[in-house]
Every structure is written in C-alpha cells, then in structure tokens.
C-alpha cells in the first residue's frame, strides 16, 4: 500500500509521510468515529490522517449518504462528525439490548428547547419571558440529559448562565447545523 | 397540539409548571384566541379576559392548583382592559395597550410552531443512539482488584461490623478526642451527599486508602453509617474500585477512584428520560 512509509527513519520522526489516498482517509474517518462514539472534530481527524481539514470534511460529507442503506449513520456537523444508529430502528435496538428507558421530552421541555435553539445563547430569564412561566425545572432537566449546555455567563447583574444547544440536540433532531433550523416565520 | 410527540409527562401534571393541558398562561390565551379565530393584533380584551377567568375558575373548581403566573396574566389582562376604557387623548398617538400582549402572543405562537416542528423531528431522529467512547486506554486493572459480588458484600459487611463494634465499645473515648459537645449537639443525621463528596475528594488526593481509613474519617455513629453508605453507593456507581490484599490480620480492603469513570458524561438515552 502506497500510504504506508516503507522505512521508519528514527532520526527524523517528522519525515513527510506520503499523503493517504481517499479510500484510506475514508477508512481512517470510520475507524476513529467508531471508536469515539461522540462527535470528533474535523481538525483532529485531519491531524491524524495527515490531510487537510477541508479534505476530511468533504470526504465525511461524501461518505454520509452511503450509510443511508445501513443501520448506522454518519452525521456531519459544522465542526465534526459522528457515527450513530439509524433512528428508525430504535425499537429493535432497545428490544435486542433490553433497554426499557426512553428519552422523552415533555411539552414544557420542548418549548424551552425551541426557545433556546432559536435564540441561543439565552438566559433562563429570557426563556421564562417568552413562555410566561417558570422554566427552571425544564432547563435543568435539559442540561442534565445533555440537550443544552451552559455556554457562559451574561455580563449583567447576577451573571446569569447562558444556555445553548449541544451536538446531541442536533443528532436527536436530525439537524446538522443550527443554520438548518427553518426560520421561525417560515414554519407553518 | 397533537399528541404525536409522546410528550405528555410527569412535568405537565405538576401544577408548578402547567395547569392541565396548557404549558402556561400564554398557551391558554393563545388557544382562546385561536378558538375564535381572533386577530392577535386586535384582541377583544373584555371577552378574552372573561374566558380566561372562566378557565381559571374551572381549574379551581376541579381543585387544581393555579401557578402564580396564571394570576399575573389575569391582572395583566385586567390592566389592559381598564386602560382601554380610559378616554384617549386626541393629539398624542398612544400605543395600543394591547400591543405588548399581542407581541408576546405572536412570539409564543412561533415557539409553539417550532415545538411542533421539533417534535416531529424528534419522533424521526430521537432514536439515534450513539455509543460511549471505546475506552482503549483504560489503566491496567490490578491483579488484586475484585469484582463486585456476594463475596465483596460479605467482606464489606464484616469489615463494617468490626469498626462498628469498636466504635460502639468505646464511643466515649472516640468522642473524647473530639469536642465534648459533639455527642450532645450532633444528634442530626450526617448528610450522605457530603460524605460521598468528602470521600471522593479524599481518594482523589490520597490515591489509595483502606476501608478503615475511609470509615474512620467519621466521628459519630451517624457519620459512620453515612460513610459506609457512601462507600456502597460509590462502588455501585462504579466510581470506586476495590482491591483486596491478604494480610496478617485478615484481608485488607483498598479503595481507589476509578479514573476511567467519566464523571460528567452526557447521559445517553438509556440513562433515563428527561421526565424522570
């Protein structure tokens, strides 16, 4: 295989290795994503594979549709990619593995999530202003299940937390970047 | 809102967050407005106020709690109604007293639509499982490590008994070493949470500690019970690794933190829903 350096020069460890061909890059991407489970940044993949970040991103985006007739999916986000199962087989996966619990979102939680998704980073006060009702419980639940995260603090009295959505949110809602969310005035 | 989100949950039945099927006062108002196909920009406040109050009365009659926000909305509506009754000054262009409410309702309506959209997406993609990272670089387990099982329970129990008896036998003496007031004042239960955090910090600092050392961070029986419970909890949660070394005075139980445990792991689906 051309991508493997034939000899290893111990005195010059930084020796230019031959650039891996595209098939190898694809294999590397898949291997890393499988091991990680979590989203992996394109930059890390690029570093490991020895190709540019852009090339990794392009390759990953090319690979994604190839998974459509399989049980797993390759998700491409803005900064990274992730492997996960195809959502339509959740029931079978759960049955086979004896998973009884399901992640459910209450209507209140969905409202909070929607407000934060469209207005992030947003404070709890903002969420409550839009909903007209106390939302601390839902916010905490969403944080603890990993759908939203604290992004920092607003430079205002009390330094309230700012919340934003996570990549888990993108995965579970089938979105690859926040820009994909339809504008609010378009949803009908 | 249709039901296909499968999202009617415990939280919705909690009076603090929702009254009946509505997630808040704005939700009630919006449904009243939409029911009569009213233009949000031109709400007949008197009519809506009556219907809103009727709704609150109904809830009350059903003996359901009404969150403060619902009352607040009633007073807002009342305020708007009374402002509308005031004669307008002719020259000054005053803002419609309903404008703020209309803006909020519109904003909320958009969010409701977004909820519908997101709910549908979640139906489709919410079942996407991602796996935990494969832990390839786990520190080598020690030979003396033991798996949790019946034998560990028996070992822990007898170790606990030894310390408990020692504690019971000359509790006076143990207490004498501390403040004399401890026995009198400290009648309350020692909080388990504090003990869990305390023991974890201790192990983090010290690396390894024996069962006795961990237990004898306690000064009262209550604290001793908390320490034992904390150890059991931490073992169960996989935060502690237990390792057994045979010694002259019987087996020595040595604890250390499981550094491969991902403390702030994002909880995945199987770890439980958001409404649990």
DSSP string of A83-100, one letter each residue: EEE-GGGHHHHHHHHT--
d(CA A33, CA A77): 13
Mean pLDDT value across chain A: 86
Which strand (E) or helix (H) includes residue B224?
helix B221-236
A160, B85 Cβ separation under 8 angstroms: no
Would you list the domain boundaries of chain A? 1-98, 107-180
**What count of CB pairs under 8 Å joins A to B?**
196
d(CA A122, CA B42): 30
Query: Over the stretch A104-161, which tens digit does the pLDDT of each residue have?
Result: 888 899 999 999 999 989 999 999 999 998 898 899 889 888 899 888 888 888 778 8
Extract the tokens encoding B71.
């009352």
Give the residue from B262, B231, B242, B253 showing the smallest Cα distance to B138. B262
What residue in A sits closest to B2 (Cα-Cα)?
A107
Residue A113 pLDDT: 95
Q: Check pLDDT > 70 for residue A177.
A: yes
Q: Across the interface, do A102 and B17 touch by the CB < 8 Å criterion?
A: no
Strand order in the sheet with B240-247: B208-210, B250-257, B240-247
Q: Across the interface, do A107 and B23 touch by the CB < 8 Å criterion?
A: yes
CA atoms within 13 A on the CB side of B184: 4
Architecture of domain A107-180: Orthogonal Bundle (1.10)
Nearest to A87 among B126, B134, B270 (CB): B126
d(CA A126, CA A109): 15
* 3-class DSSP assignment, residue A156: coil
d(CA A113, CA A166): 11
Q: Do domains A1-98 and A107-180 have the same CATH topology?
A: yes
Contacts of A93 in chain B (CB under 8 A): 127, 129
A71, A83 Cβ separation under 8 angstroms: no
Would you say the ipTM is above 0.95? no
Interface probe for A, chosen from B21, B70, B125 (most Cβ of A below 10 Å), is B125
Nearest to A108 among B12, B26, B110 (CB): B12
Residue with tokens 């949000």: B40
Residue B37 pLDDT: 85
What residue in B sits closest to A92 (Cα-Cα)?
B127
Q: Output the CA–CA distances (angstroms, integers) from residue B101 to A127, A129, A132, in the order listed.
A: 16, 12, 11
Contacts of B26 in chain A (CB under 8 A): 131-133
Residue A21 CB partners (closer than 8 Å, separation 6+): A2, A3
Task: Strands of chain A (E only): list them.
Answer: 40-41, 72-76, 80-85, 148-153, 161-165
Contacts of B268 in chain A (CB under 8 A): 146
* 3-class DSSP assignment, residue B258: coil
What one-character-per-residue DSSP string does A162-182 give? EEEE-HHHHHHTT-SSGGGSP
Å between B93 CA and nearest CA of chain A: 27
Å between B7 CA and nearest CA of chain A: 4
What residue in A sits closest to B19 (Cα-Cα)?
A133
Contacts of A90 in chain B (CB under 8 A): 126-129
Within 10 A of B126 (CB to CB), how many other CB atoms are there? 21
CATH of A1-98, one of 3.40.50.300, 1.10.10.10, 3.40.50.2000, 2.40.50.140: 1.10.10.10
Contacts of A84 in chain B (CB under 8 A): 128-130
Extract the tokens encoding B65.
């709690």
| List of domains in chain B | 10-125 (no CATH), 150-257 (1.10.10)
Q: Across the interface, do B125 and A174 touch by the CB < 8 Å criterion?
A: yes
A16, A7 Cβ separation under 8 angstroms: no
Å between A118 CA and nearest CA of chain B: 9
Q: Across the interface, do A104 and B12 touch by the CB < 8 Å criterion?
A: no
B139, B257 Cβ separation under 8 angstroms: no
Nearest to B115 among A111, A142, A174 (CB): A111
Q: What radius of gyration, in Å, describes the C-alpha atoms of chain A?
A: 21
Q: Check pLDDT > 70 for residue A70.
A: yes
Cross-strand partners of A122: A163
B11, A104 Cβ separation under 8 angstroms: no
Give the residue from B237, B190, B235 showing the smallest Cα distance to B211. B235
Which strand (E) or helix (H) includes residue B176?
helix B171-177
Nearest to A110 among B26, B110, B115 (CB): B115
Within 10 A of A149 (CB to CB), how many other CB atoms are there? 18
Å between B170 CA and nearest CA of chain A: 45
Nearest to B274 among A85, A103, A187 (CB): A103
Q: Output the CA–CA distances (angstroms, integers) from residue B157 to A113, B150, B164, in the order listed.
A: 47, 10, 10
Å between B241 CA and nearest CA of chain A: 24
Q: Residue A161: phi, psi to the nearest 5?
A: -65, 145
Contacts of A169 in chain B (CB under 8 A): none
Å between B88 CA and nearest CA of chain A: 29
Nearest to A84 among B104, B129, B133 (CB): B129
Nearest to A88 among B24, B26, B127 (CB): B127
Tell me the pLDDT of chain B (276 aa) as tens digits.
Answer: 333 333 333 444 433 334 457 888 898 898 888 888 888 888 888 888 989 998 888 887 776 767 788 889 999 999 988 888 887 766 566 678 888 888 999 999 999 999 999 999 998 899 899 887 776 655 667 777 777 888 888 888 888 888 888 776 445 554 555 555 555 554 567 778 888 888 887 887 777 888 988 888 777 778 888 899 999 999 888 888 888 888 777 778 888 887 766 553 333 333 444 443
d(CA B222, CA B190): 6
Q: Are strands B240-247 and A161-165 parallel, antiparallel or unpaired?
A: unpaired
Residue A100 pLDDT: 82
Extract the tokens encoding A84.
């996960």
Å between B34 CA and nearest CA of chain A: 15
Residue B5 pLDDT: 38
Å between B98 CA and nearest CA of chain A: 16
Residue B119 pLDDT: 92
Read off the pLDDT of each residue in A14-25 and give the average, rounded to a whole number. 76
Q: Across the interface, do A103 and B25 touch by the CB < 8 Å criterion?
A: no
């Amino acid at each position: 295989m051309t991508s493997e350096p034939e000899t290893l020069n111990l005195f010059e460890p930084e020796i230019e290795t031959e650039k891996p061909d595209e098939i190898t890059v694809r294999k590397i991407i898949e291997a890393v994503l499988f091991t990680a489970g979590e989203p992996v940044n394109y930059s890390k993949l690029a570093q490991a594979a020895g190709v540019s970040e852009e090339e990794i991103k392009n390759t990953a985006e090319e690979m994604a549709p190839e998974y459509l007739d399989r049980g797993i999916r390759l998700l491409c986000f803005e900064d990274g990619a992730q492997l996960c199962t195809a959502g339509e087989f959740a029931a079978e996966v759960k049955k086979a593995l004896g998973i009884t619990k399901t992640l459910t979102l209450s209507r209140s939680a969905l409202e909070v999530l929607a407000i934060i998704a469209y207005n992030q980073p947003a404070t709890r006060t903002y969420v409550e202003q839009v909903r007209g009702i106390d939302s601390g419980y839902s916010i905490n639940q969403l944080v603890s299940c990993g759908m939203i995260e604290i992004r920092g603090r607003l430079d205002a009295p009390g330094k309230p937390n700012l919340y934003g959505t996570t990549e888990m949110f993108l995965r579970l809602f089938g979105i690859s970047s926040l820009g994909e969310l339809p504008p609010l005035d378009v949803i009908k | 809102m249709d039901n296909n989100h499968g999202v009617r949950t415990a939280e919705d039945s909690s009076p603090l967050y929702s009254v009946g099927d509505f997630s808040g006062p704005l939700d009630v108002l919006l449904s009243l407005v939409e029911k009569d196909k009213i233009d949000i920009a031109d709400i007949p406040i008197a009519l809506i106020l009556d219907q809103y109050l009727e709704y609150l009365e109904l809830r009350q009659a059903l003996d359901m709690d009404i969150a403060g926000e619902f009352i607040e909305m009633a007073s807002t509506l009342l305020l708007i109604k009374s402002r509308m009754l005031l004669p307008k000054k002719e020259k000054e262009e005053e803002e419609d007293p309903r404008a703020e409410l209309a803006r909020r309702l519109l904003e909320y309506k958009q969010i409701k639509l977004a909820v519908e959209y997101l709910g549908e997406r979640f139906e489709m993609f919410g079942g996407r499982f991602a796996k935990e990272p494969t832990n390839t670089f786990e520190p080598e387990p020690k030979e003396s490590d033991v798996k949790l099982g019946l034998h560990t329970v028996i070992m822990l129990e007898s170790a606990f008994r030894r310390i408990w008896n020692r504690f019971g036998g000359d509790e006076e003496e143990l207490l004498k070493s501390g403040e004399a007031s401890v026995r009198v004042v400290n009648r309350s239960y020692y909080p388990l949470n504090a003990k869990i955090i305390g023991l974890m910090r201790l192990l983090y600092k010290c690396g390894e500690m024996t069962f006795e050392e961990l237990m004898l961070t306690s000064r009262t029986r209550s604290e001793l019970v908390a320490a034992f419970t904390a150890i059991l909890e931490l073992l169960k949660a996989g935060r502690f690794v237990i390792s057994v070394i045979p010694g002259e005075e019987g087996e020595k139980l040595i604890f250390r933190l499981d550094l491969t445990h991902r403390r702030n792991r994002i909880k995945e689906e199987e770890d439980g829903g958001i409404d649990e």
